[in-house]
Amino acid sequence: MGTDQASGEFVREALGVAERITADGSSPWPVEPGRYRLVAARACPWANRIVIVRRLLGLEDAISMGIAGPLHDERSWRFHLDPGNVDPVLGVEWLREAYEKAVPGYDKGVTVPAMVEVASGKVATNAYAELEYDLATQWTAYHREGAPDLWPAEHLDEIGAVSEGIFHDVNNGVYKCGFAGTQAAYDKAFHALFSRLDELSDRLATRRYLVGDTITEADIRLWVTLARFDAAYHGHFKCNRHKLTEMPVLWAYARDLFQTPGFGDTIDVEQIKQHYYGVHTSVNPSGIVPLGPDTSVWLTPHGREELGGRPFGDGTPPPPPPEGERVPAIG
């Protein structure tokens, strides 16, 4: 992450290992069950997207998952929640070690999600958007029975257009607010964020999901930011025109998805707060982590069923998460 010195605007660093994992031989990394370990973090929205897709598609047996803890420093994400502070499969304490095995002298951002080849310990890719798509299109031989179609062919263009706006103004927009180096940069990002949220609220007022009548990638992309909004972005990143709970349509939509298998069961609000308030010392020098907000409200009725829609289309809900991947219950 960085800030442009001239404009004060936040600039997201380029990905350092932007490869693909494909089934057709078009990349150096082939689809192969058991070959890779997904390294994620409960705190990170970019990783959360991949965790949700993996859950919905039923790829737990094909791709194992390691969870980096919420706290880290300039050395990178760290497995401080595991016994001995070491990932039990990769045998490393810091995710940077896997990046440096892939690229000696690695000097770019150490990010999650990252897919690591277990045998070599090398990061195969940290290209989160491509990874998300490839899990849905390249790993089909290992999808569970009843896996939903998150990129329905008839809606690809619309999903792409909606998702692009969400990325720039919402997913990345909250960071543009939080890490702005000037008032002008903050003002610009703030207005873009809430203008986009207003637009999305209008869109969702009469439809249950963003595109078509089922959950698609666009919903996953928006939801991971909404899920963190009141706990982190509203206060920590100064995205404070309204709380999510004060935006009726988006709040009901977010609760609807939270209560859908594969979404709320991937979230750990305490780790989210520990990360944002504990790591971003330039924004929160004291490192004090807030005790609120009340999370039990995520379980209240949302009424979105009245809009129709079929969450998983012709598919079925995923089963509960594996025992070792379960998160603390809300409420």
Nearest alpha-carbon partner for 40 in 304, 203, 224: 224
29 among annotated binding-site residues = no
What is the C-alpha to C-alpha distance for residues 199 and 189, in angstroms, rounded to an integer? 15
The pair phi, psi for residue 297, each rounded to 5°, is -65, -20
Q: Which candidate in 128, 175, 186, 253 is catalytic?
A: 175
> 211, 218 in Cβ contact below 8 A?
yes
Percentages helix, strand, coil for the chain (3-state, rounded to 5) are: 40, 10, 50
Q: Which candidate in 36, 44, 233, 253 is catalytic?
A: 44
Tokens coding 326: 């379960």
What is the C-alpha to C-alpha distance for residues 232 and 307, in angstroms, rounded to an integer? 30
Q: Locate tokens 């990932």: which residue?
A: 87
The DSSP output letter for 181 is S
Tokens coding 173: 């927009």
> Is 175 a catalytic site residue?
yes
The three-point CA angle 228-272-210 to 5° equals: 25
> Is 44 a catalytic site residue?
yes
The three-point CA angle 240-289-264 to 5° equals: 70
Q: Which residues of 108-120 are buried (b: 16+ CB within 10 A; e: fewer)?
A: eebbbbbbbbeee
Tokens coding 330: 């809300």
- Residues involved in catalysis: 44, 175
Annotated binding site for glutathione: 77
Annotated binding site: 77
